[in-house]
Structure 1
Amino acid sequence: MQKKSIVSAKQEPNEKYKDKFTGDFIIKNLLEKNDSREQEMYYVTFKDGCRTRPHIHASEQILIAAEGKGIVVFAKRILIEPDDITKTEVEIEKTFMMEKGDVICVPAFMLHWHGCIDNNEDFTHIAIRKRTELENIWF
């Protein structure tokens, strides 16, 4: 492992994640597999109101607010109307507002999403989680 810098960290291609976000974003991978076999760490900037789509991880995820104001939402479930997907309902369990320095631990297998609060303000967080063989589940 070498010393890493958020400033010079490698930016991931947006095409890899574009269907996982609601708008513009920047992802910097801070830990490659050869840096840490056990942990993943990303520096994620959500632009102009962007959020992740609802998703589930197989391991806990630690979110550390770095810049701006953001939101993290835990959901109990998503109810999808099979005949009309636009009538989808989300049952919210808990909502957290984040600002610089705040830390939230998202439990493994918790349906959640995170990103900007405001459409005119960016939000940046550091996301850390254990590497697993299981892929995230996105909605």
Structure 2
Amino acid sequence: MITKALECVNYDAMCQAACGFLMEYIQIMHNVLQKNEKKDIIRAKAYIDDHYMESLTLDVMAEYVHMNASYFSSYFKRHTGQNFKEYLNQIRLRHALDLLLSTDMKSYEISDAVGFKDPKYLSELFQRTYGKTPVAYRKELRSR
């Protein structure tokens, strides 16, 4: 910046150099902020992946990433395309499916193991997502 400023021959040239410097600075700051936002989402997703079986709420997640719950909710949706609860349920269902296929655990045991406190809720979500109840899904796969 100083070198460019010293090369300026008049006020207009100095203004152009200053504007160029400010635009460059704004772009750098924009990139830094975007990287930080991505880091917050990556941290939040990693936390969810590691703690999906616990009682995760917007408040818990917001505290983890140092935001208020309302802001975290909209922030998460804006950066992932899903709301927090949808994302959490998707992770829990994926783990429930893994347990369903790799163990002989009962549906209520799987429900508890992946963080759903109500086995009926797991069954409803599972049926909505996979088209069958967990028991029917397991039975069909084992009959093949």
**TM exceeding 0.5:** no
Taking structure 2 as the reference length, what is the TM-score of the superposition?
Answer: 0.20
TM-score of the superposition, structure 1-length normalised? 0.21
Name the structure where helix makes up a greater proportion of residues.
Answer: 2
Larger RCO (alpha carbons 8 Å, 6+ apart) = 1
Select the structure that is richer in strand.
1
